[in-house]
Structure 1
Amino acid sequence: MIRTPASRRHGFSLVELMVSVVIGLLALLFALRMVGGAEQTRRSALGGSDEMQNGMVALFSLGNDARSAGYGLNDPIIAGCNTQFSDTKGYQLAPATRGTTDVTPLAPVVIEAHGANPDRVTFYAGTSIGGTPTLRLTSDAAAGATQFDVDRIVYGFNQGDVLVVAPEQPGGDCLLVQRSDSDPTATRVTVAADAGMRFNGGTPTATFKGYAARVFDLGPVGSLAFRSWSVADGYLQLQATGPDDASAQPSTVAEDIVSIKAQYGFDTRTGSAFQPQNGLQVNQWSAAMIDADGSGTAGDAADWQHIAAVRLAVVARSKAVERPAAGAACTTTTAQPVVFADAAPVGVAAVPTTVNVAVTGDPVDWRCYRYRAFETVVTLRNAGWRPNP
């Protein structure tokens, strides 16, 4: 019979137990570090994926509007015209400056530049399938007139269509209203403030002379593409004239968008060198209006007709917050992003813009996030497809 020594009948020794505990703790610590690292990597990857997706959606949305901008508004008579407008649902035309005067021009794009903070960018386009038909006024129209006598039957001008009344010579104000009558054989357009005509309110002061003003048809109000993009509290927002999204408050389109920036691309050729019917070119980028036509006044109607393209940038933020070491500051992002730093097209000086990515009210330091900037240049094709003066 084999006997087990007394020293072996009482299990593990204290030394063996302590060694086992230490090895177990080391293994647990290693496993926790692996899990923590994998979780951080997963969060960063998911945050980067959301950042890419949100940024691409935002840039596509703005770029899509830019590609359609100016349709129906490219006639030199109304392009850049200071327009009086009232909407019962609260949409307002974007403000701009003409010299030292505040105006609300009709143009393919209007940029409200805010330095390093997010810009507000507005795109305008009509939708008339008739190629924006026009009529000439045959009698004077006083301020607040609800009827306009025209030179021929108003065929193609349907009830509810959005109309722009504009003087043929630049300098006067335009008026944006809706046709309220439905007589296809009439030689008169009525714009009474009926219940269903959302643009026929307000107290317009514009006056028009017979045989010196025109009426343009931009198409049905339900498909009018007046769309303003902005950023608030990390969300991309849209305010528009569409039937589903028109209200005094903008609707949210994408999250984790901390800024949008835009610049006009001007064709600065002047005099006989400026032949838009032969094509436009970009010679200068600017977030503000310039005296592109050399008239001495920055932002007059002709300057808006010198816009050949728009440069857009969207800055998206990751969802994941990169936590710093205890007592240390975040270093995930150490400098504010810079957009528009590259020359586009080649030979045209870039105007780099530093973007403030801090979100108002966010308790987390902006340096704890990752950011990605998305940029594009969109040619305003409708600007070149204009009728000759």
Structure 2
Amino acid sequence: MSAHPSPEPSIARRRPGNAGFSLVELMVSVVIGLLALVFATRLVVSGEQNKDAAVGGSDSMQNGMLALFSLSGDAADAGWGLNDTMLAGCDTAFSDNNGYQLAVGQRGGANITPLAPVVIQSNGGNSDVVSFQSGSSQTAVGSTRLVTNYVPGESTLTVDSRNPYDFNVGDVLVVAPITPGARRCTLFQLSGFGIGVNGNQLQVASGVDFPFNPQVGLTTAYPLNVSYIYNLGTAARLHFHTWSVQNGILRLRATDMPGSAGQGASVIDNVVSLKAQYGFDNRALADYDPNTPGNSAAQASTASGMRIGVWSSTMIDADNDGVVGGTGDYQRIGSVRLAVVARSKTAEKPDSSGQCRATTVQPTVFAGAAPATVAAAPVQVNVAVPGDTVDWKCYRYRVFETIVPIRNAQWRP
């Protein structure tokens, strides 16, 4: 009896190691892979967010420092050529065919346009508008006197000397009364010279080369012997600058920067606020050096130096003459305190509740007493940018502050 051969073993039995993955094993592998991908993605996103925060902080630091450096440079030069008591604080008529306008101040509740080292248009918690003014003449406060009455509309002004020293065609001149506040000052350009029977004549003509002369002649009458003409230097270097912040951008209007006189030029982005305060010397007249010639209630002593006694965002009656914003008050400005608030370039995302918490309280500037004997006048700043769809709390902010002495206010003739 023959035996039947046994059947061949199946492939699965012969190769038990090649049976493959079960469905459960495959699903577990997919889940593990997805989890690893999620963790890797979160790690990359977190790294990018940290980098953006670091770069944004660096940007705000750079922007804030650059903005403050630019403002400080203007403040350090402010008042050059304007520090004579006939000019400082004088309400001035000025017109520019290129569109620049003098800053508006207040005197006794009325609007004026003063010639002063610094004019602050305070806006409470919102960003201020700050103007710095100076000339460029090497003779600084070189002046000449009117020797005939000037009638409005005349094309010449007759002065007491022929060919006044360092007066050149195209220079910016200011005619002022010898008694501060007696009448408005007028800023214009010298268009030429002419010799008359009574002496040297300074000509006032309009034209493309004289943008500060919109018409022939001036609109204010000036009597002889009590009116003086000062030279501020060439028009191309007339340093009238107005700084402001619009929609998160620091902007500059300037007489010496073509194309920026009217609308202004963008300077630095992500700057959300500019704040400024006057530093007044408000000592009483009895505290001044009595041996200094010309001391009056409207003048600070140039011998003993100016001392800051009060900080204010607006004009005050610093000389105690009963008028807020008088010529003497502008002559009492010894320094200016500046603050710039810059924000990060990138907004941080809201938390799980949908609220941004990068910044919870709006910053406060000028909170410290400087110098230590002068009380601080802190201001809380509104850092929200008009029209920005992102909540201001989603950004981080840096505050930059400095104090700049108005040195030219002390160097009076």
Is the structural similarity TM-score above 0.5? yes
In the alignment, structure 1 residue 77 sits paired with structure 2 residue 86: yes
Q: CA separation in 2, counterparts of 1:170 and 1:268?
A: 19
Residue 269 in structure 1 maps to residue 269 in structure 2: no
Q: 2:235 aligned with 1:209, yes or no?
A: no
Q: Which amino acid aligns with 2:139?
A: G
Gap change, CA 1:176 and 1:260, over 3 Å in 2: same
State, as a whole percentage, how many aligned pairs show the same letter: 50
> Are residues 343 and 144 of structure 1, via their aligned partners in 2, closer, same or farther at CA, if it must alter by over 3 Å?
farther
Partner of 1:133: 142
Aligned residue in 2 for 1:338? 364
Secondary structure, aligned partner of 1:66 = helix
Q: Distance in 2 between matches of 1:267 and 1:247?
A: 32
Q: Is the 8 A contact 1:277 1:386 kept in 2?
A: no
Q: Report the alpha carbon displacement of residue 23 of structure 1 after superposing the two structures with TM.
A: 2.2
CA deviation after TM superposition for structure 1 residue 271, in Å? 1.5
Report the secondary structure of 1:128's partner residue.
coil
Superposed displacement of residue 182, structure 1:
4.7
AA at the equivalent of 1:163? L
Amino acid at match of 1:178: Q
Q: Tell me the SS of whatever aligns to 2:398.
A: strand
SS of residue paired to 2:46: helix
Greater displacement, 27-36 / 91-100: 27-36
- Look up the equivalent residue of 2:226 and give its one-letter code: A
1:232 aligns with 246
Structure 1 partner of 2:155: 146
Cα pair distance change 1:184/1:370, threshold 3 Å: farther
Q: Is the contact made by 1:84 and 1:204 (CA closer than 8 Å) also made in structure 2?
A: no
Structure 1 residues 12, 61: closer, same or farther in 2, change over 3 A?
same
Please state whether the residue corresponding to 1:239 is helix, strand or coil.
strand
Q: Residue 189 of structure 2 corresponds to which residue in structure 1?
A: 178
Deviations 1:299-338 (A, max 9, x none): 0001000000000000111111101135511111111111
Cα distance change of structure 1 residues 160 and 385 upon mapping to structure 2, 3 Å threshold: same
SS in 1 for 2:374: coil
Deviation at 1:67, TM superposition (A): 0.3
**Paired positions, count:** 386
Pick aligned residue for 1:123 from 120, 132, 145: 132
Structure number with larger C-alpha Rg: 2
SS, match of residue 36 in structure 2: helix
Q: Is the 8 A contact 2:146 2:227 kept in 1?
A: yes
SS in 2 for 1:263: strand
Evaluate the alpha carbon distance shift between residue 340 and residue 125 of structure 1 in structure 2; reply closer, same or farther with a 3 A threshold: same
Query: Is 1:167 aligned to 2:173, yes or no?
Result: no
Deviations 1:22-74 (A, max 9, x none): 32222212111110110000111111111111111111111100000000000
Instruction: Report what 1:200 is aligned to.
Output: 213
TM-score relative to the length of structure 2: 0.90
Q: Aligned in 2, Cα 1:194/1:29: closer, same or farther, shift over 3 Å? A: closer
Conserved? CA contact 2:143–2:231, under 8 Å = yes
| Paired amino acid for 1:221 | A
Comparing 5-14 with 80-89, greater Cα deviation is found at 5-14
What is the letter of the counterpart of residue 385 of structure 2? V
Judged with a 3 Å threshold, the aligned counterparts in structure 2 of structure 1 residues 136 and 250 are, in CA distance, closer, same or farther, namely same
Q: SS at the partner of 1:166?
A: strand
Which deviates more, 363-372 or 273-282?
Answer: 273-282
1:278 matched to 2:292? The reply is no
**Deviation of the 1:138 alpha carbon:** 0.7
111-120 or 236-245, larger mean C-alpha shift = 236-245
Distance 2:251 2:257 in 1: 17
Give the alignment of 1:1-389 within 5 angstroms. 7-153=16-162, 154-171=164-181, 172-182=183-193, 187-201=200-214, 204-274=218-288, 275-387=301-413
Unaligned runs of 5+ residues in structure 1 are none
Q: Which amino acid aligns with 2:207?
A: D
Report if aligned partners of 1:112, 1:119 keep a CA contact under 8 Å in 2.
yes
- Per-residue deviation, 1:146: 2.6
SS of 1:74 mapped into structure 2 = coil
Question: How far apart are 1:4 and its partner, in Å?
Answer: 6.3
For 1:98 and 1:42, how far apart are their aligned partners in 2?
51
Q: 1:251 to 1:243 in 2, by over 3 A?
A: closer
Cα deviation, 1:71-110, whole Å, max 9, x if unaligned, reads: 0000111000000011101101100110122111000000
Residue aligning to 2:297: none
**1:155 and 1:184 in contact (8 A); partners too:** no
Opposite residue 300 of structure 1, the aligned amino acid is G
Query: Is 117-126 or 143-152 further displaced after alignment?
Result: 143-152
Give the TM-score normalised by structure 1: 0.95
Q: 1:132·1:219 contact (CA, 8 Å) conserved in 2?
A: no
In structure 2, C-alpha distance between the alignment counterparts of 1:3 and 1:256, rounded to whole Å: 71
Deviation beyond 4 Å, 4+ runs, structure 1: 2-7, 182-186
Q: Is the 8 A contact 1:121 1:230 kept in 2?
A: yes
Three-state SS of the structure 2 residue aligned to 1:296 is: coil
Greater shift, 197-206 or 302-311, is seen at: 197-206
- Whether the aligned pair in 2 keeps the contact of 1:125 and 1:225 (CA below 8 Å) is yes
Bigger shift: residues 116-125 or 134-143:
134-143
